[in-house]
């Protein structure tokens, strides 16, 4: 073991180092020096780039932490239990208009004669404002001769119950 270290120590001795430098000619020394200098410059540039990317990541994390958490809009179809009180309330308030809760939980609003046209339009406007947690979409809207004979004015409205939820944090 000791023999290995002594031969290694001889290789690093100043006398052998100076002999090695004397055997190299000046052109070889210039080429080696330029290569080492280039390698050092590339390493310094890489370290500088790395420090920039670390600073950018810190800035991005800080900006994301300052960003407010916004609520997410959630729309779902209401249950039949939720729709029945609305239909009952409408029927009591507007007895001349016919309200039906359909299988897909949409509401049919119909009037049997032209005398009820203004009331029917008022009902459609009222339904839109009856409950702020519902958004109504018109599936069918029919007035006049193209409607069924029993209802010359009919609209089928589909409700969506809207709510907001906060997205769980990152």
One-character DSSP codes across 88-149: HHHHHH-TTSEEEE-TTS-EEEEESSGGGHHHHHHHHHHHHHH-TTEEEEEEEEEESTTS-T
Domains and CATH numbers, the chain: 2-66 (no CATH), 75-166 (3.30.70)
pLDDT in tens, 29-71: 788 889 999 999 999 999 999 999 999 999 999 988 888 888 8
Tokens of 154: 């009919």
Q: Across 41-106, where does the E strand assignment appear?
A: 71-76, 98-101
pLDDT in tens, 92-127: 999 989 998 888 889 999 988 888 889 999 999 888
* Residues contacting 164, CB < 8 A, separation 6+: 71, 72, 73, 74
Residue 143, pLDDT > 80, answer yes
Neighbours of 123 (CB within 10 A): 22
Q: How far is CA 78 from CA 87, 112, 125, 162, in A?
A: 13, 28, 20, 9
């Amino acid at each position: 073991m000791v023999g290995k270290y002594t031969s290694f120590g001889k290789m690093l001795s100043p006398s052998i180092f100076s002999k090695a430098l004397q055997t190299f000619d000046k052109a070889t020394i210039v080429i080696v020096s330029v290569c080492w200098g280039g390698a050092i410059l590339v390493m310094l540039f890489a370290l500088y780039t790395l420090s920039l990317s670390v600073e950018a990541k810190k800035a991005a994390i800080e900006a994301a932490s300052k960003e407010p958490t916004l609520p997410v809009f959630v729309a779902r179809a209401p249950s039949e239990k939720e729709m029945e009180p609305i239909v009952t309330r409408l029927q009591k308030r507007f007895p001349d208009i016919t309200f039906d809760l359909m299988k897909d939980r949409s509401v049919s609003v119909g009037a049997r004669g032209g005398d009820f046209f203004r009331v029917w339009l008022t009902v459609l406007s009222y339904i839109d404002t009856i409950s702020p947690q519902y958004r109504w979409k018109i599936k069918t809207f029919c007035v006049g001769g193209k409607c069924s004979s029993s209802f010359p004015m009919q609209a089928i409205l589909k409700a969506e119950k809207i709510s907001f939820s906060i997205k769980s944090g990152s």
